[in-house]
Amino acid sequence: MEKTKVNATIRKKIEKSGLRQYQVAYAIGVSKWTLNSWLSIPLTAERKERILKAIDKLKTE
């Protein structure tokens, strides 16, 4: 049985948006390593909202 990756939905949204994780990290004011750490564990509601807003904003730029 394949283990489901934590935050797979957000990872896919970043990928489908044509963005890189470092771009999203920069937009929310953290390092790419910090964002990668956040995505490896269940996100708090606040972090998830910050990331999703940044993705949406970057897609429109």
Cβ count near 34 (within 10 Å):
12
For the segment 7-17, the average pLDDT, to the nearest whole number, is: 96
Domains along the chain with CATH numbers: 8-60 (1.10.260)
Residue 5: predicted pLDDT: 83
Amino acid at 35: L
**Residue 6, pLDDT score:** 86
Q: How far apart are CA 5 and CA 33, in angstroms?
A: 17
User: How far is Cα 6 from Cα 45, in angstroms, rounded to an integer?
Assistant: 14
Looking at residue 9, its amino acid is T
Compute the distance between CA of residue 36 and CA of residue 2 in angstroms, rounded to an integer: 21
pTM to 2 decimal places: 0.87
Q: Say yes or no to pLDDT of 1 above 50.
A: no
Q: What is the pLDDT of residues 32-60, one digit of tens each?
A: 999 999 999 999 999 999 999 999 999 99
